[in-house]
């Protein structure tokens, strides 16, 4: 059995020239890419081995979902969250964003409304429109240095056509792990107004604050479960986004059929390598996962201390994810992403998340690269302040 020290997150992996979306954006430019949410780390050794074995076999016919993968997910959800799920509730998908769009089409009819909070992961903002639904954006509020739901405002903004609420928990980009109390209050409002919850929990295994726990929305109680579509994936935790593998958990039969009907003829299953990687990630990568979390916690400390040297920039605590949401509103910098690109760091502009005046920094990278980027940012801020 390996201990945490056996995994090397420190040695940078060369990603240039590998058709990486993240790195090719700044091809031939001296800009450190810290935008889209993939990490610069190799996946767990067990995942790499599983893929090598699968490719060595060399036959790539149509797959069916491996029975043992369903069983593994069911036991993982029970062991990790004390959540009892049946394997027939699982619907496999070639990506979680696919699931968001399918959910929007599966619930209600054209012209209905979908609600979410802002700032939001950009596909939350585009999926309703792609699905001929209206979008209602409720701002999160900042209170006690944490981003929180504004329940009064949220309830006021519900229309008689609001059929679904898209929740992100843990939250990208603000890094919150919502408490049981917060989730219960949200669920009660959704119950009262007959709203289905689409709960994107892709970041649930990236909890950095040690006293926080992830609570699957559907595990609050059976009534909530009956109106919840949970979306999960191994892709963020184990760095497999290029392998396209995710799943929905839908306990309510009618809702599950609506979801499957919306997929019919359009959405393929994951591919053979995605399945192989998911199995190895869930079954054999616990130590790697623990080591990753330790490393990310160290990166987060590095950012927090660097931020203190960059007034007036600030950042709310990152309870989960490897994404820091940097508040630049009081700096007077008009275009946060452009400003830091000019300084050689590629962040993602808050405007894309409906969070103008913010920038998102992906710290899923080697400590040395992170330190280099933070130093460039510090110098840029110093020069800016004059």
Ligand X SMILES: Cc1ncc(COP(=O)(O)O)c(C=O)c1O
CB of 75 to ligand X, least distance (A): 22
205 touching ligand X, by CB under 6 A: no
Distance in angstroms (rounded) separating the CA atoms of residues 331 and 327 = 9
Residues ≥6 apart with Cβ < 8 Å to 86: 74, 251
Distance in angstroms (rounded) separating the CA atoms of residues 333 and 204 = 33
Cβ closest to ligand X, residue 96 vs residue 318: 96
Which residue reads 């700032």 in tokens? 119
Q: What is the DSSP pairing of strand 228-232 with strand 134-139?
A: unpaired
127 touching ligand X, by CB under 6 A: no
Question: Among residue numbers 210 through 249, which ones bind ligand X (CB under 6 A)?
Answer: 233, 235, 241, 246
Query: What is residue 185's three-state secondary structure?
Result: helix
CB of 330 to ligand X, least distance (A): 27
Question: Among residue numbers 251 through 290, which ones bind ligand X (CB under 6 A)?
Answer: none
DSSP state letter for 360? E
Token pair of 304, please?
């927090």
Other beta carbons less than 10 A from residue 375's beta carbon: 15
Find the binder of ligand X among 40, 112, 200, 352 (CB under 6 A).
Answer: 200
Print the binding letters for residues 44-83 with ligand X: x by CB under 6 A, - otherwise. Answer: ----------------------------------------
CB of 23 to ligand X, least distance (A): 16
CB of 147 to ligand X, least distance (A): 15
Q: CB under 6 A: which stretch of 12-20, 91-99, 175-183, 266-274 binds ligand X?
A: 91-99
Cβ closest to ligand X, residue 117 vs residue 331: 117
Handedness of CA 124, 127, 129, 132 (dihedral sign): negative
Q: CB under 6 A: which stretch of 14-22, 94-102, 207-215, 378-386 binds ligand X?
A: 94-102
Find the binder of ligand X among 50, 76, 97, 183 (CB under 6 A).
Answer: 97
CB of 308 to ligand X, least distance (A): 27
Which residue reads 């998102």 in tokens? 360
CB of 218 to ligand X, least distance (A): 17
Reference 235, options 175, 302, 322; nearest CA is: 322
Other beta carbons less than 10 A from residue 164's beta carbon: 26
CB of 246 to ligand X, least distance (A): 5
Half-sphere exposure for 12 (CA within 13 Å, toward CB):
10
Question: Among residue numbers 159 through 178, which ones bind ligand X (CB under 6 A)?
Answer: 168, 172
Distance in angstroms (rounded) separating the CA atoms of residues 141 and 148 = 5
125 touching ligand X, by CB under 6 A: no
Distance in angstroms (rounded) separating the CA atoms of residues 363 and 240 = 16
Distance in angstroms (rounded) separating the CA atoms of residues 68 and 282 = 11
Token pair of 270, please?
């994951």
Cβ closest to ligand X, residue 70 vs residue 172: 172
CB of 96 to ligand X, least distance (A): 3
Find the binder of ligand X among 31, 32, 34, 37 (CB under 6 A).
Answer: 37
CB of 272 to ligand X, least distance (A): 17
Question: Among residue numbers 9 through 28, which ones bind ligand X (CB under 6 A)?
Answer: none
Distance in angstroms (rounded) separating the CA atoms of residues 201 and 171 = 8
Which residues bind to ligand X, rule: CB under 6 A? 37, 95-97, 121, 168, 172, 200, 202, 233, 235, 241, 246
């Amino acid at each position: 059995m390996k201990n945490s020290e056996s995994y090397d997150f420190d040695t940078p992996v060369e990603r240039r020239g590998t058709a990486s979306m993240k790195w090719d954006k700044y091809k031939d430019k001296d800009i450190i890419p810290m935008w889209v949410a993939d990490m610069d780390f190799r996946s767990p050794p067990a995942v790499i081995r599983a893929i090598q074995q699968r490719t060595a076999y060399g036959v790539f016919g149509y797959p069916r979902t491996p029975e043992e993968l369903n069983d593994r997910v069911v036991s993982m959800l029970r062991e990790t969250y004390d959540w009892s799920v049946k394997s027939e509730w699982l619907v496999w998908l070639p990506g979680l964003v696919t699931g968001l769009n399918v959910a929007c089409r599966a619930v209600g009819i054209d012209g209905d409304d979908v609600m979410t909070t802002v700032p939001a992961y950009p596909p939350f903002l585009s999926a309703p429109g792609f699905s001929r639904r209206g979008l209602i954006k409720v701002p999160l509020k900042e209170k006690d240095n944490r981003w929180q739901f504004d329940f009064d405002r949220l309830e006021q903004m519900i229309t008689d056509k609001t059929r679904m609420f898209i929740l992100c928990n843990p939250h990208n980009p603000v890094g919150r792990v919502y408490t049981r109390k917060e989730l219960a209050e949200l669920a009660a409002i959704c119950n009262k107004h007959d709203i289905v919850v689409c709960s994107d929990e892709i970041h649930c295994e990236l909890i950095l604050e040690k006293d926080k726990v992830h609570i699957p929305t559907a595990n609050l109680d059976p009534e909530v479960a009956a109106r919840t579509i949970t979306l999960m994936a191994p892709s963020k935790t184990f760095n497999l986004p290029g392998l396209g593998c995710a799943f929905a958990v839908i306990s309510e039969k009618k809702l599950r059929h609506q979801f499957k009907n919306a997929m019919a003829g359009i959405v393929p299953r994951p591919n053979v390598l995605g399945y192989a990687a998911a199995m190895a990630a869930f079954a054999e990568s616990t130590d790697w996962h623990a080591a990753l979390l330790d490393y990310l916690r160290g990166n987060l400390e590095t950012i927090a201390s660097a931020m203190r040297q960059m007034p007036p920039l600030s950042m709310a605590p990152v309870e989960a994810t490897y994404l820091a949401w940097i508040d630049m509103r009081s700096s007077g910098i008009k275009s946060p992403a452009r400003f830091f690109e000019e300084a050689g760091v590629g962040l993602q502009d808050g405007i894309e998340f409906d969070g103008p005046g913010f920038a998102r920094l992906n710290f899923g990278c080697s400590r040395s690269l992170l330190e280099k980027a933070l130093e460039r940012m510090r110098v840029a801020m110093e020069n800016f302040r004059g």
